[in-house]
A and B are shown apart, each in its own frame.
Chain A
């Protein structure tokens, strides 16, 4: 019985995804023209309403929960962060000014960034940041409005080949929404 319900819901999910495919490609040719806060309404990025029932529950994460210890000799990842590796998490913060108007990743920070770290060679990032990876390029948001990101948590050193950006904590986003 359970198996049947699950396969039916999977079938509905697949059908809906297929129906949406052409929609999400309309008007797109690789990049999206810079235009306000379209990210909030980009379908592929908005959380499908049924996700909580089908997928696993996202654990809420706060910026100040990343590290349990810090000294000049390095940071210590918190037990919570370690335990959530590969799991679904949700975090709210601000989008940092990105390198290009459209991008496939952006940086989420605790407070709105006063600098555009990618624009200035001298800019320094705070330690408690999350790199948000997106399934397709999106338009930059206004950077002064809080957003909530849900997705799979990745932890560990990684350098972006194109920008040389180094990250320690990343989320492969399912959804990016305006925070309440």
Chain B
């Protein structure tokens, strides 16, 4: 008997099943599609340096190297560049070695024309034939009226959040509106920069600065090179960097300024080539190499310039680099007073600390003798930036200057956001000096960027006015209100880094440590090593604090970098290049495009 009710029910069941099947099928198909969209290239035994999708400036020099890992040594490596044998294309003989790690290398080559390049490799061995094809891009892009100068200002570890802390402390915020913006906020162009390195998601300062200096991805601890598999930190295939290009192709003046050791990762990456950033003695002596000798060198870290016989030196030889620079006509400054007295020579070496320079709070605010020791006359980053610009701008061919706010990173590693923030403000004031110079002639591109981020965010405020302490003293949402930093003298730095209501800054990635949310009189490490493990440093919160259980491996006693994208702001000729989301290697291409550099030219 026909029963309409049942039939409807069956129908609805059938249709429900059908819909469910369609949904499942569409989900599965979308999954397959999305997997396919980011399936990486097959792991090949053939590793190519420069890597696939590398982008070069036309004429930019580099070493071309192929490594082939095989159980049975290769018997032949054939390399074709745009259909021509590589040796014919580059006009140079390759050095080929056959072993379990076979290598094919041609040093100091360049692409003479802009456009696409395809490199095809065929490796023959007893096992058979293996092939790999990769692609390069060569750019000859330049703006119509090139910039005369570029000032690249790098806030080491200066994440968006670090900029925001500086904005709050320096400018203040009323009813949700900032009273003013930072100098680096008030620039015409903004881009978001991705920071990952060639070998890892989270970058370090060497390879990220190297990306800015060469336009190439780098490996952790490497600068100006692709990291090959040999142990020697000086034999890796090199890529020409911005200081070399600026000098070679246009006879520009160049300078590096940093509050860290001047041989530390960021300034070093502008000129040096090594797999190992810790080779700071090598990097210091490389600063004498005419290929990439900066005209202005200002920062800390004289210990890598002094002969081993001098107490405080870290050199392992008797070279006195300070004397060698003197012989080349560099006046030497070791204090703020000497820097001021140096005037505007053609070149200048200023080293103001044996190690990293002290941070702004210790140098200029608390001036604690227990922290500073005998180093009571160190210049500010503003002093150094101003002097560097004055000296470099004498060159008629223009200049490239890199200024680093180095201790933003160093202080975030020790989870000292107050010290990091004062140094961010200090760097912002250096940005102001650069902008002021740029405004005069409208021929200078100023770029402000971080090299990587730290996982530190403002989650509200902290105070103990009602007796609550520790995590109960952290105020969120409406309870947070506003911090009470005061800048009565109007110098842009809060008078007291420890006001009654301060920011609640929380870290995403940290070792075990004690947190009391207060300013520390002297810089103190969050954790110390004990029995091979990082444990909370009891000296960190002498008045008591909550133990925060770490969330990173106990082998690391400091806060670590995060993979966050970082903001870049720019102003001046060529600034239009910087917009949207960009790879960190594009910072280099934005610089050479603005300067109109052509790697095929030879000034000298």
Contact = CB atoms under 8 A, between A and B. Distances in A.
A binds B: yes
A70 B334 CA distance: 11
Contact of A77 (B311, B335, B414, B531): B311
Interface string A124-144: 101100000000000010111
B529 A115 contact: yes
B354 A97 contact: no
A72 B353 CA distance: 5
Given A72-B334, A114-B558, A144 B528 contact: yes
Nearest to A101: B532
B373 A70 contact: yes
B355 A114 contact: no
B15 interface: no
Contact of B311 (A72, A74, A121, A159): A74
B531 A70 contact: no
Nearest to A123: B278
A115 to B, nearest CB: 6
A97 B312 contact: no
B313 interface: yes
Which of B221, B313, B529 has most chain A Cβ within 10 Å? B529
Interface stretch (B169-177, B195-203, B301-309): B301-309
A144 B535 contact: yes
A74 B557 CA distance: 30
Give the bracket for the number of chain B residues in contact with chain A: 35 or more
B526 interface: yes
A146 B585 CA distance: 48
Contact of A122 (B278, B306, B375, B528): B278
A56 to B, nearest CB: 26
A72 to B, nearest CB: 4
Tell me the interface secondary structure of chain B in the complex. loop
A179 interface: no
B352 interface: yes
A76 interface: yes
A118 to B, nearest CB: 11
B557 A127 contact: no
B314 interface: yes
B528 to A, nearest CB: 4
Given A67-B311, A122-B278, A72 B302 contact: yes
Which of A72, A112, A122 has most chain B Cβ within 10 Å? A72
A127 B355 contact: yes
Contact of B313 (A74, A97, A121): A74
Which of A77, A122, A127 has most chain B Cβ within 10 Å? A122
B530 interface: yes
Contacts of B302: 72-74
A159 B530 CA distance: 26
B366 interface: no
B539 interface: yes
B315 to A, nearest CB: 9
Interface in A123-177: 124, 126-127, 140, 142-144, 157, 159, 164, 166, 168
A127 B312 CA distance: 6
A46 interface: no
A115 B311 contact: no
Contacts of B335: 71-72
B30 interface: no
A143 B528 contact: yes
B316 A166 contact: yes
Interface string B299-331: 000100010111111101000001000000000
Contact of A97 (B277, B278, B334, B529): B529
B527 interface: yes
A75 B354 contact: yes
Interface string A48-80: 000000000000000000010111111111000
B528 A114 contact: yes
A103 B527 CA distance: 24
A17 interface: no
A142 B557 contact: no
A74 B306 contact: yes
B264 to A, nearest CB: 9
A12 interface: no
Given A114-B537, A124-B355, A159-B316, A73 B310 contact: yes
A126 B353 CA distance: 12
Contacts of A144: 528, 530, 535, 537-538
B374 interface: yes
B47 interface: no
A47 interface: no
B498 interface: no
B527 A114 contact: yes
A71 B302 CA distance: 9
Contact of A157 (B308, B356, B528): B308
A72 B529 contact: no
Given A112-B528, A143-B528, A144-B528, A73 B306 contact: yes
A126 B312 CA distance: 10
A11 interface: no
Contacts of B539: 111-112
B352 A69 contact: no
A164 B374 contact: no
Which of B311, B354, B530 has most chain A Cβ within 10 Å? B311
A76 B529 contact: no
B352 A72 contact: yes
B308 A72 contact: no
B374 A69 contact: yes
B277 A122 contact: yes
A116 B511 CA distance: 14
Interface string B337-373: 0000000000000011111100000000000000001
B282 to A, nearest CB: 13
Contact of A75 (B277, B311, B322, B535): B311
Contact of A70 (B278, B375, B558): B375
A72 B530 contact: no
A166 B314 contact: yes
Given A114-B526, A114-B528, A143-B528, A72 B354 contact: yes
10 contacts: A70-B374, A72-B335, A72-B351, A72-B353, A97-B529, A112-B530, A112-B537, A114-B527, A114-B537, A116-B529
Given A157-B309, A159-B308, 17 more contacts: A69-B374, A70-B312, A70-B373, A72-B334, A73-B302, A73-B310, A74-B302, A74-B311, A75-B354, A97-B532, A111-B539, A114-B558, A140-B531, A143-B531, A144-B530, A144-B537, A168-B311
Interface of A: 67, 69-77, 97, 111-116, 121-122, 124, 126-127, 140, 142-144, 157, 159, 164, 166, 168
Interface of B: 221, 276-278, 302, 306, 308-314, 316, 322, 334-335, 351-356, 373-375, 414, 525-532, 534-535, 537-539, 557-558
